[in-house]
Structure 1
Amino acid sequence: MASRTIVLGSTSPFRKALLEKLNIPFECAKPNIDETAHEGETPIKLVERLAIEKAQAITGFSNALIIGSDQVALCEGEILGKPHNFENAVKQLTKFSGKAVTFYTGLCVLDSSTNKVTSLVEPFTVHFNVLTQNEIISYIKAEEPYNCAGSFKSEGLGICLFKNLEGEDPNSLIGLPLIKLISLLKQHDFDVLKEQPTNG
């Protein structure tokens, strides 16, 4: 079989950095889709559908495995978006103090030559410390996490806010569950270890 192109259906620098950990060549492409939730759609159904639609929205690759991913965060049943500014970030982190936030990451691999789709949703829960307003403000000013759902960067200083983490793959918190991705790629006969470049 001719070597297949791996395509990340995302322009997120965080997802790109995660996929680079697998040490395989890949391309990035931007999926343009409507991310509006359907009426009555659960957050879990939403992220799986959007992950699939993102992969399907990438065209122009004839023999590729296309990765789509989407993520939503929930705290006490409320969906959390990106704060976009300081005030909203303070509100979000104040709400999270002493509570648990669960991230659901939808993941899909699409074979562009056969249209075979494999997909799943990976949960990951963050348990927050009881946070003072001074701690919240100091953190936000230091890291400015305005483009991150939940107002924190777990790969950075956000770790200072946590009591503990609960889940199978901490990469999923950043946006791409690599353990499950490796498994999905295997279902498409793509073995990450066998695809490693050889020296010499």
Structure 2
Amino acid sequence: MARKLIFGMNLTLDGYIAATGVDIGWSGPPSEELFQWWLDQELANEVSLYGRKLWETMSSYWPTGDQQPGATPAEIEFARNWRDTPKVVFSSTIDKAGWNTRLVTGDAVAEITRLKAGDGGPMGIGGAALAGAAMRAGLIDEYALATHPVLVGGGTPFFTALDNWVNLNLVETRTLPGGVVLTRYETRRGGQG
């Protein structure tokens, strides 16, 4: 059985994961419930796939996130899980990546296809360019969105331009404090056209 590939991120109501200038200040600190939901998503993943920019963001904080003053139990668990989970970073501009990470400099779509064909648990994918390439190649099995009630008018979109329609099935919806709406959709295979 092939591995499931899940693309999930925080985004604005108008569909951006970062505002113009790579500004993610619109999301603010997550509520305990939202952070726990993301932790649960991460704990379910057997492998994490990152583009360079998201890798740099995550690796600048999470290796020592459990040692930060005031770290909550969920943040401590997230940091430990982040360090322990095998990671693959796709980049042609960095030459090394630590913390249980393998660097891939070649064809990202070919490598993701190879990883999906293997046995194992779900893989999470993050980073707009990397996830966009996987989306265009039809490799995403599930979309997990934490939609925040803010409009930013431009920036880095969650969804990329596609060549074909992708039909989805809603599998979860939940409202959290601050008006954040969680939704998860599975790709309906065979229904693209």
- In the superposition, the TM-score normalised over structure 1's length comes to 0.23
Q: Which has the higher contact order (CA 8 A, sep 6+)?
A: 2
Greater radius of gyration (CA): 1
Provide TM-score, normalisation by structure 2.
0.24
